[in-house]
Structure 1
């Protein structure tokens, strides 16, 4: 019997029409991928932004009681080399009624070092308290003068409109004095 591929009633396997459908579909899929991939890839962060996502800081020269500020991902990071008095105050405040309850031990890896993102959680202002003469609010931590948020020596919100504590970035101590943030 002779096959006639031009008639729709032919439903046998391997017709030319089937091959054309598969070839066209495959070509369309590859072409779509070639067009869409650059768009998706452009949504990845650029190399300069990725390079800023990890910062290493040597804390060797930071004396107890002093605070330093560095920039990470375009935001200030406050590093407080806490004295025994600040550590004791933070631990004593664990028992207080807090707006955003979190123990001091959950916010630090080493009690003498507090590392927080220095951005008020209310409207994104930069709280005062890093400089020697800056007001530190009623709890010895940081004070945001824009709307009156007070943070304690563990960076926890104690008074004011801020809804949560100062954020703790991801960090690890590489050595006793070298910390990697990000």
Structure 2
């Protein structure tokens, strides 16, 4: 037996030294986790943030031509009950005229076209539009029922959106995003 061999290496049985190495290593791991846990735990979202993951909005009082802005995940969300004229105006626009031909609707496949119907609340709810109210250029909040297409207009840099929230003119690269949402009833929309 050389002077560097341990008892366990020569006989194959654990020694007291092996046990001490193992327990010291385990104590170090437990200590490191107990020190790190408060830092890891503080990175989790708090209860108020988790509560905003999904909201329900009663839209029963919103008549055609009226809008409502709610806050969801720290961003404004535009909810509009469009008039039949606004729905028809959105439906009549050929996709070839659009700056961004993608729907940007989280409820549809990523490559869905930006038709008036694919930007709306869905079949039977074409008059409803729900969009994150943040300009896709620099995040400003556009003004509703403004601009050349009577949709939304961002006065900061001149982005113009139509009645379906599709970018038509200006520096914004994409249509206003549509979050996940669903009608829980005829008068309640769940966002998120």
TM-score for the superposition, normalised by structure 2: 0.83
1:180 corresponds to = 190
Out of 109, 116, 131, which is 1:104 matched to?
A: 116
User: 1:67 aligns to what SS in structure 2?
Assistant: strand
Please say which of residues 54-63 and 98-107 is displaced more in the overlay: 98-107
Distance 1:94 1:177 in 2: 31
Please give the per-residue CA displacement for 1:147-169, whole angstroms capped at 9, x wherever unaligned: 10000111011100011111111
Distance 2:69 2:23 in 1: 60
2:71 corresponds to = 71
Provide the aligned length of Structure 1 versus Structure 2. 173
Please say which of residues 149-158 and 62-71 is displaced more in the overlay: 62-71
Distance 1:94 1:83 in 2: 20
Please give the per-residue CA displacement for 1:108-128, whole angstroms capped at 9, x wherever unaligned: 232111000111111111111
Pairwise mapping of residues 51-62 of structure 1 onto structure 2 (< 5 A)?
Answer: 51-62=51-62
Change (3 A) 1:20 1:123: same
Distance 2:54 2:43 in 1: 20
Pairwise mapping of residues 121-160 of structure 1 onto structure 2 (< 5 A)?
Answer: 121-129=136-144, 136-160=146-170
Which stretches in structure 2 are left out of the alignment for 5+ residues? 102-113
2:108 corresponds to = none
Give yes or no for contact 1:94–1:104 (8 Å, CA) kept in 2: no
2:180 corresponds to = 170
The Cα of 1:23 is off from its aligned counterpart by 0.6
Moved over 6 A (4+): none
Distance 2:33 2:117 in 1: 49
Change (3 A) 1:104 1:36: farther
Change (3 A) 1:23 1:143: same
